[in-house]
Amino acid sequence: MSDAKQTIDDYTGRVVRRLPASERDRAKAELDAHLSDAAEAGELAEALTRLGPPEEAAASFAGSGAAPPSPVNRRFAAVAVDNLPLAGVTIALLAQGIARVTQEGVGFALAFPPFVSVKIGDACVSIAPVQCASNAYADAGALYSVGVPLALAWSILALGLLEAWTGTTPGKRLMRLRVVTETGLRVHPVTAIVRRLSLLLGPFAWVDWAPVAWGDRRRLLDRLTETKVVSATAPATRRE
């Protein structure tokens, strides 16, 4: 029976690791009970065969797999909360630019998210060539060279890893949302980060939200990464 218990624990562990945090306890309890009963009846191998590989078993327990994407207004509210550091840096750059206009009569460029550029020797790499040519943030100092990278690191890396580990972010938790794969499973860390990379495109990041214009509830990168944002309070229903 000890070998059977080890088999059950190993299999259950591999299944629940693929599920969103909110669904793990239920799945673990059901799997443990089902497989323990099968082991007592001498049918553990048959039960594992019926359940299939851990990926398939996890999908059958993922109640959010059939849940529709959440309303866009709730997603926008979550995005606003999650990206407060990036918004704060942008507002600070705006204030600095206005001060330059007032004091020096020099114009400035600004966008949200801010343009990103990288200097390589005498060359400049940017999604917006005009930003390189005009050196729009030349006098922004640490606010641009340090503040913008830190804010983007929060919005892309930190929030992406939070989504992978917990399925949610501060803004999504507030709006009762979570990120899952199309089959309702936990999002891989690389996937969670990739679905946020549009922020590196400066204002062109809003193209990622273009599907909203024709009523779609998923961004372009949601579809590319096969993920969706669903209600965290959606009823969990196991697919048989």
Q: Are residues 76 and 190 in the same domain?
A: yes
- Domain containing 20: what range? 2-61
125 & 196 share domain: yes
Hey, is 236 helix, strand or coil?
Answer: coil
**Number of domains the chain contains:** 2
240 is a domain residue: no
Per-position DSSP letters for 87-156, written without gaps between them: HHHHHHHHHHHHHHHHHH-------SSPP-EEEETTEEEESSHHHHHHTTTTT-THIIIIIHHHHHHIII
Which among 24, 39, 61 is the end of a domain? 61
pTM (predicted TM-score): 0.80
Q: Is residue 17 part of a domain?
A: yes
The answer as to whether 131 is a domain residue is yes
The pLDDT value given to residue 132: 61
Instruction: Provide the pLDDT for residue 238.
Output: 45
Residue 182 inside a domain? The answer is yes
User: What is the chain's pLDDT, residue by residue, as a tens digit (240 residues)?
Assistant: 478 888 888 988 988 888 887 778 888 888 888 888 888 888 888 888 888 888 888 888 776 667 889 999 999 999 999 999 999 999 988 888 787 777 766 666 677 888 777 666 666 666 655 566 555 566 667 888 889 899 999 999 999 999 999 999 999 999 999 999 998 899 999 999 999 999 998 888 999 999 988 889 999 999 999 999 999 865 444 444
CA distance 31 to 165: 22
Nearest to 128 by CA among 66, 75, 202, 188: 202
Residue 233 class from Cβ within 10 Å (0-12 exposed, 13-18 middle, 19+ buried)?
A: exposed
Structure tokens at 160: 């992406």
